[in-house]
Structure 1
Amino acid sequence: LAMLRISGRGGSVDKGEAVKLMASAAKLGEPKAAYNLALLYLDGQTLPQDVKRSAELLRQAADAGLPEAQYALATFYKEGTGVAKDPERAVRLLQAASLADNVDAEVEYAIAMFNGTGTPKNQPAAVALLRKASRQGSAIAQNRLAWVLINGVGVSADKVEGFKWHLVAKTAGKGDPELDKQLSDLPAEDRAKAEAAAKKWLGSK
């Protein structure tokens, strides 16, 4: 009902009533209500901006297992928004959210593992997670996967597969001039294979 009130579906917009309903639901332990209320405190339009209160509500929702809240709270810990910076805690939250198939968390967790930021470096596991997120349609993951496959970092080089993902990411608006240049230097036969593989992937979506 709070979401209907805030959007004006099924009646007029009533943000004050929406906030009251959301707060009541959050107090009763509904994680989605706590998460949505946290976003309102973060946004600062419907409610006065209060990043600390936003962090508290995100923690409530994250502790209840809501992946979106785990990812958002991880960002807070990574950047020190409303909480003290804590890269290790951020990574633990990213890991939890990625296990629940939150694609944004998968990408961030993979990057953390690849670089050893807040967690032991594990490039093979990072690449496997980038593959998963790429198949789930993340253009950022596709771009990162293209880089590691083309340059053979943390995994055996596979230029055809790498440029396939580069071309797929490019269609989603995640272009990369440096990879474009490398693609133009690729032998014509391999370039044709990469283009065919990208076309096949895009056609299956």
Structure 2
Amino acid sequence: MARAQSAADGVSNSPNVGAFPTEHILPSNEPKPQPFKKGGEAAPVPADPKATKPSGGIGVLDRMGVGLPALPPEKPYTGVVDEAYGAFQRGYYLTAFQKALPRAQLGDPAAQTLIAELLSQGLGVRRDSKNAAFWYGKAAEGGNPTAMFKFALAQMEGRDVPRDRKSADQWMKKAADAGEPTAQFNWAQSLTADNAGIKGLELALPYYEKSAAQGIADAQYAVSQLYMSLESVPPEKKAQARMWLARAANAGFDTAQLDMGVWLINGVGGKTELEEGFKWMKVAAYRGNVVAQNKLAHLYINGLGTPQDAVEAAKWYVISRRAGLKDPELEDFYLGIEDDQQKAAINAANKFRSAR
């Protein structure tokens, strides 16, 4: 449940900037800049170009006859130095464990969470999921949001602790309310699962929104779908649906990339942009999304956002058909093209490798 699947999974650039011509940067009739000596007086240009010497790093203030100002004294750091976490960040896992353990035993939730992470992943020490669950539980009781989330997962799955759905839900909600983004998404998923229909979606939406705002792509995708589908969502939020979908697509969520292509081509949530829609469909297709591969074939056939290309259309149809997606319309198209086009499409499909 750490990353619950979206209901639509499997179903649903910047331009090159050329260099400016030289004449646009420095026209030939523009006077060339001359160096300045101290006092601001222009230095004469030597008649012999070989006599010109580099400045040796003279700064602008020096050229103006003004010395560099003294740097302000560096303020000493007076905060608490977390040596254990610092060692963890540098990859010194055993050192991190040794420095965190005494603090964990004294009840420090952050240190307890770090110990649990090291034990659960086997970093610097032997992997020990049972002891990891113990420390996650201690840290959760101490109020650490990450530990609350991890302990909720352990209780939900019955992994190294007794299975307890009620307690797991309580910890998941506490973690979500404490601001843990993945817990917010998972709690939203639980609300939709436990409350059928519109009610569950409306209960879940605030948690999806909080998670989306913290960068969870699954939540961003969910927000885009709910903004468009729920009648209770105000117009100003509905207008943001495509923006949230774009964020999920840019984060690499292939279902969002597929839907981004569909929305742009069909004008959903904004104006129709065929070329941009084609680009997103192609991105999702190369990521291995079978539905996007199927739709890309249709775009090539109809010349939507791209020139018509029978071989490319047939190639993407072959790729999606091999993945199990049947399409009678595309099958009729494929059987109607020339033999050499079919052969070229099959050869191209054989060379395709998903970018996942």
User: What pairs up with 1:96-107 in 2 under 5 angstroms?
Assistant: 96-107=247-258
Asked if the contact 1:103/1:136 (under 8 Å) is kept, the reply is yes
Q: Distance in 1 between matches of 2:316 and 2:355?
A: 14
Alpha-carbon distance in structure 1 between the residues aligned to 2:234 and 2:291: 27
The whole-number CA distance in structure 2 between the counterparts of 1:167 and 1:13 is 46
Say yes or no: does 1:21 pair with 2:166.
no
Report the equivalent of 2:325. 174
Q: Which runs of 5+ in 2 are unaligned?
A: 1-150
Q: Runs (4+) of structure 1 moved beyond 4 Å?
A: 84-87, 202-205
Over 3 Å counting, the alpha-carbon distance change for 1:132 and 1:203 in structure 2 is: closer
Q: Give me the whole-angstrom Cα distance separating, in 1, the residues matched to 2:242 and 2:214.
A: 17
| 1:186 aligns with one of 322, 326, 337 | 337
Q: What is the total number of aligned residue pairs between the two structures?
A: 202
Residues 81 and 167 (structure 1), Cα distance of their counterparts in 2 relative to 1, 3 Å cut = farther
**What are the residue-to-residue correspondences of 1:1-205 with 2, within 5 Å?**
1-44=151-194, 50-80=200-230, 83-84=233-234, 87-201=238-352
* Displacement after TM superposition at 1:135 (Å): 0.6
Q: Who is 2:101 aligned against?
A: none
Query: By how many angstroms is 1:18 displaced?
Result: 1.0
Q: 1:200, CA displacement in angstroms?
A: 2.0
Contact 1:73–1:90, Cα closer than 8 Å, also in 2: yes
How far apart in 1 are the matches of 2:239 and 2:160?
44
Distance 1:202 1:81, change over 3 A: farther
CA deviation profile, 1:6-37 (whole Å, cap 9, x unmatched): 12222332111111111111122111001000
User: What secondary structure sits across from 1:13 in the alignment?
Assistant: coil
Contact 1:87 1:117 in 2 (8 A): no
- Do the aligned residues in 2 keep the contact of 1:110 with 1:125 (CA within 8 Å)? yes
Which amino acid letter does the alignment assign opposite residue 143 of structure 1?
N
How far did residue 50 of structure 1 move? 3.0
Partners of 1:147 and 1:8 lie apart in 2 by: 47
TM-score (norm 2): 0.54
3-state SS of 1:50 partner: helix
- Deviation digits for residues 100-131 of structure 1, max 9, x if unmatched? 11111111111111112212211111111111
Q: What's the TM-score once normalised by structure 1's chain length?
A: 0.91
Unaligned runs of 5+ in 1: none
Which protein is richer in helix relative to its size? Answer: 1
Identical counterparts, % of pairs: 28
